[in-house]
């Protein structure tokens, strides 16, 4: 599956979360803490900010896994966490869970060593995005919709959302079914997850 943006630069839906920022390289949070000092020490606590599936529009939240964040190439990156929300209730966490008939969102958070570093990362991610939904108080959020093409034909749309809260950047991409022409369902589902994460980040001291 490929993606063509409604306007601006192209983004490939296959691996879109990786293109946006979600790293899959595993590491130990303590490593990031040693690299960036005390500013990265709290990385482990951010695992708790992902809402349960019951608090979203999805049926299932997959296990939350740590990632180093190094693929983002953002100065001050400490590491982060990632998971997938889906309406797929089976055990096959491969292509079947992200089949054209499924609602899903791949969500990643990246902790940075300072608010300034997080602002810079947010500014350069999804540069063509516009504001569609209201973020939680104190947070920023932007999103974009991309036309999904399978085998050379349009087949729904993929939405991508990025938000900033404290020193955390939240990135997601996914699809909503049934497909519509403006990506409204995928945006609504992902923005609900983002707002929950934003509130949870703000609540952690």
Q: For 48-73, give the secondary structure using H, E and C.
A: HHCCCHHHCCCCEECCCEEECCHHHC
User: CATH code at 18?
Assistant: 3.40.1000
Is 90 in contact with 97 (CB distance < 8 Å)? yes
What mean pLDDT comes out for the span 170-189?
81
Task: Band the pLDDT of 181: cuts 50, 70, 90.
Answer: low
Q: How far apart are the first and last CA of the chain?
A: 41
44-53, 114-123, 174-183: range with lowest mean pLDDT: 174-183
Q: For 40-88, how does the pLDDT look when each residue is reduced to its tens digit (9 = 90+)?
A: 867 899 999 999 999 999 999 999 999 987 777 789 999 999 999 998 8
Question: pLDDT at position 29, please?
Answer: 42
Q: Give the CA angle between residues 94, 71, 87 to the nearest 5°.
A: 30
Q: What is the chain's mean pLDDT, rounded?
A: 77
pTM of the model: 0.78
Question: pLDDT at position 190, please?
Answer: 94
Region of 159 on the Ramachandran plot (φ > 0 left; ψ -120 to 50 alpha; else beta) = beta
Print the domain residue range for 156.
Answer: 2-203
Residue 179 has pLDDT above 80, yes or no: no
Residues facing 104 on adjacent strands: 86, 175
What mean pLDDT comes out for the span 10-32?
39
Question: pLDDT at position 3, please?
Answer: 47
- Read off the DSSP letter of residue 6: S
| Structural domains counted in the chain | 1
Distances (CA, A) of 83 to 2, 119, 165, 186: 22, 23, 18, 16
46-50, 87-91, 184-188: range with lowest mean pLDDT: 87-91
């Amino acid at each position: 599956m490929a993606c063509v943006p409604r306007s601006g630069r192209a983004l490939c839906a296959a691996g879109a979360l990786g293109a946006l920022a979600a790293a899959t390289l595993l590491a130990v949070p303590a490593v990031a803490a040693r690299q960036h000092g005390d500013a990265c020490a709290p990385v482990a606590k951010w695992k708790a900010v992902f809402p349960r599936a019951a608090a979203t529009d999805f049926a299932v939240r997959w296990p939350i896994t740590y990632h180093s964040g190094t693929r983002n190439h953002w100065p001050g990156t400490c590491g982060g966490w990632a998971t997938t929300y889906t309406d797929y209730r089976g055990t096959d966490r491969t292509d079947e869970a992200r089949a054209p008939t499924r609602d899903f969102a791949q969500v990643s958070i990246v902790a940075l060593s300072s608010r300034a570093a997080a602002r810079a990362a947010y500014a350069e991610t999804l540069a063509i995005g516009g504001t569609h939904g209201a973020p939680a108080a104190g947070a920023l959020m932007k999103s974009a919709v991309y036309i999904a093409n399978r085998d050379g034909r349009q087949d729904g749309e993929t939405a991508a959302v990025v938000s900033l809260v404290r020193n955390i950047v939240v990135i997601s991409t996914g699809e909503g079914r049934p497909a519509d022409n403006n990506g409204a369902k995928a945006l609504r589902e992902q923005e609900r997850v983002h707002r929950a994460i934003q509130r949870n980040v703000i609540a952690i001291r």
